[in-house]
């Protein structure tokens, strides 16, 4: 078409407007690249900037090959992000005067024992959350995973006394899961109700996390997958509403609720500030143990 022809079309208002192609959203480019790079069956992404949700996107399927699309209300296992919610639950109970960070764990769980008697006597509630207990990395995780298994939370507490420390108490960072199970039971003892009940009552409900659940989801649920050759294969999901590992990694939430959860910490509303005191927010958002960064992880995050 000639230039003059283009001018005629515009002048007559024919429904063939000459418009510029919109630039792609840079976040779309990133999400698509991640899907391709890691061969993901599905993903849900949200971005908060200056306290506002500026971007959400979903890709893929809840189960590979099912045709059921991921949405912002698809429930995902949030894995160890559950630990942050367990910590917030304890902070709520502290605000309510039901326990204190410096309380000995044995005040709430008299049968609690670590390998070393001195560590047992000096283990505080706060120590359960700081990954500096002396437990070797992943120590005792076979009592949690693979699932299903027959270990109960009482078994976890009893088994801790047999795990030899990998380093001295409070001297270094080493990631663990078992002490978050213990923390959940401390919450239950102090709060007078099961961990699951307290999490729903003290965290999910007041923050409006209506799609966050313990263990099993319902309806729109993204299933875990394994990569086999060139395809994603769904795994059998054994989560239950009373999973032993709930306090360490047993919560599911959807994207909408995770954005509400993040917003609570980034730019809390007046109602959210009523939910948790400024004092406890400072405790939860302050560093407590130095985390070393390995050479491999540095290489992953170093621009090339």
Q: Give the Cα separation of 125 and 87 in Å (integer).
A: 10
pLDDT for position 303? 58
Structure confidence by residue, pLDDT tens digits, 217-263: 777 999 989 999 999 999 877 655 568 999 999 999 999 999 999 99
CA 301, CA 207: separation in Å to the nearest integer?
33
Q: What is the DSSP string of 235-287?
A: PPP---TT-TTHHHH-EEE-HHHHHHHHHHHHS--HHHHHHS-HHHHHHHTS-
Q: How far apart are CA 47 and CA 283, in angstroms?
A: 25
Q: Which residues contact 138 (CB under 8 A, 6 or more apart)?
A: 175, 176, 177
Q: Provide the token pair at 304.
A: 């090339």
C-alpha of 122 from chain center: 29
Phi, psi of 268 (to 5 degrees): -65, 145
DSSP conformational letter for 64: T
Tokens describing residue 187: 């919450």
The CATH architecture annotation of domain 26-285 reads 3-Layer(aba) Sandwich (3.40)
pLDDT at position 11, please?
Answer: 29
Residue-wise DSSP of 115-158: SSHHHHHH-BTGGGGTT-SSPPTTTTGGGT-SSS----HHHHHH
pLDDT number for residue 19: 55
Whether pTM > 0.85 for this model: the answer is yes
Whole-number pLDDT of residue 5:
37
Q: What is the mean pLDDT of each run of 10 residues along the chain (304 residues)?
A: 33 41 84 96 97 96 95 95 98 98 98 98 98 94 86 96 97 95 98 97 98 84 92 78 85 97 96 96 93 82 64
Residue ranges of domains in the chain = 26-285
């Amino acid at each position: 078409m000639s230039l003059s022809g283009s001018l005629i079309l515009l002048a007559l208002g024919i429904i063939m407007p000459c418009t510029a192609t919109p630039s792609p959203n840079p976040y779309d480019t990133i999400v698509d690249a991640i899907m391709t790079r890691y061969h993901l069956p599905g993903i849900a992404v949200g971005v908060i900037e200056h306290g506002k949700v500026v971007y959400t996107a979903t890709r893929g399927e809840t189960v590979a090959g099912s045709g059921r699309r991921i949405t912002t209300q698809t429930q995902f296992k949030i894995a160890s992000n559950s630990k942050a919610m367990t910590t917030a639950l304890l902070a709520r109970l502290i605000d309510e005067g039901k326990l204190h960070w410096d309380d000995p764990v044995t005040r709430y769980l008299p049968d609690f024992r670590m390998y070393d008697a001195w560590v047992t006597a000096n283990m505080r509630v706060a120590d359960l959350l700081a990954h500096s207990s002396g437990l070797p990395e992943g120590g005792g995780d076979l009592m949690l995973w693979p699932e299903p298994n027959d270990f109960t939370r009482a078994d976890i507490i009893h088994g801790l006394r047999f795990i030899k420390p990998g380093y001295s108490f409070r001297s270094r960072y080493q990631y663990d899961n078992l002490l978050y199970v213990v923390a959940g039971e401390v919450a239950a003892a102090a709060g007078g109700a099961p961990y699951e009940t307290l999490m729903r009552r003290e965290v999910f409900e007041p923050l409006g996390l209506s799609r966050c659940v313990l263990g099993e989801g319902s309806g729109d649920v993204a299933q875990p997958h394994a990569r086999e050759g060139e395809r994603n294969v769904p795994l059998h999901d054994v989560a239950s509403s009373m999973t032993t590992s709930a306090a360490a990694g047993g919560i599911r939430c959807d994207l909408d609720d995770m954005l509400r959860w993040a917003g609570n910490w980034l730019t809390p509303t007046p109602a959210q500030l009523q939910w948790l005191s400024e004092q406890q927010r400072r405790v939860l958002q302050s560093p407590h143990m130095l985390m070393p960064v390995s050479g491999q992880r540095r290489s992953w995050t170093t621009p090339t």
